[in-house]
Structure 1
Amino acid sequence: MTLTVQDLAVTRGGLTILEGVSFELAAGEALVLRGPNGVGKTTLLRSIAGLQPVEAGIVSRAEDQIAYAGHSDGLKAMLSVTENLRFWASVFGLSDVEPALAAFDLIELRARMAGTLSAGQKRRLGLARLMVTGRPIWVLDEPTVSLDAASVSLFADAVRHHLSSGGSALMATHIDLGLSEARVLDLSPFKAGPKARQMDEAFL
């Protein structure tokens, strides 16, 4: 499954912030989006995932092929680690959560209530949700926030496994994940004109 983005323009607050964004992401590939804070990485990812409309251009993808992970971990505080993963697995028609528990070092925490976990543990659990979706295209916004170095390595290993299984990953991150195979796209050249700059200045 190839994700194709052609001449995409996206908006925030009613104003265009990125325009002319084009790339392809094939099975087995990872692409890292870079750019300064506020350039529009989150808006672009949400638009590609189908969570908000695009202003112009084309996103060629099947919506049921994308698993999106944003800033929220998407956890139910009163469910255990295992119960959270089983809930999300059931949503996507799957049942086996053991590989996800192992991949993110959650086995010893499996009976803990999600609400009692540390920020880093919650993030690992939130990312483990990706593995129980069964969806081939992972779209990830700053996935390693709150993770220590060891957990970042676990995440990178999970991405590599996903790629080797024919999946793909589109990620916005400032962290070096050690994924030398990942391509990098700097969004700075796609920043829209004066109106977008005026909007940014209004929030300073």
Structure 2
Amino acid sequence: MLKRENFKMLGKLGVIVLGMFCFGYALVPIYKAICEMTGINVLALGDRQIPGATATLPANTQVDRSRTITVEFDANSRGPWHFKPAQNSVQVHPGELATVMYEFQNVQNRTMSAQAIPSYAPAQAGPHFNKLECFCFSQYTLAPGEKKQWPVAFVIDPKLSRDVKTITLSYTFFEVGGKTPAAPDTSKATGA
């Protein structure tokens, strides 16, 4: 008799579990129908296909197409390796995303760690030159003879003065913790 009651209870619990599953499954279409009728879900309005409307992406209004700035790339290395931009210059509109690659090669017969430091000319361009991705953010280790390419992705702020037509982005690539001697101290020679 106890077994029969246990099976009955198990059957009731099974029906309850099945009913809960079906109810949960049915909630999605019920929710959509209620939101459609009441207009509550205004966030989904953009997902609907409106008859007669064409799907166009809005133009990027942050790009200033009325002017073009030439960005020149310079590479200096302090140590025996090759370091250069893949291209010497690009022309961009302020607010437009641009990416340039820099090429590196360790021509030494030993592993080296190095980092690059950027500088800008004219100096007033520095605060308006926004790098989104840059190899200068990190130190890198290169095996003997290893070649790499790293990107610089940047946007020039449209608030940059209109009289700036050319910006030079210059990198100095130097070994970190290596055998490259320190730069000479010129303050002693000038009497400072």
TM-score interval for Structure 1 and Structure 2 normalised by the shorter chain? under 0.3
Q: Counting helix residues as a fraction of each chain, which structure ranks higher?
A: 1
Structure label with greater radius of gyration: 2
Q: Counting strand residues as a fraction of each chain, which structure ranks higher?
A: 2
TM-score (norm 2): 0.24
Q: Which has the higher contact order (CA 8 A, sep 6+)?
A: 1
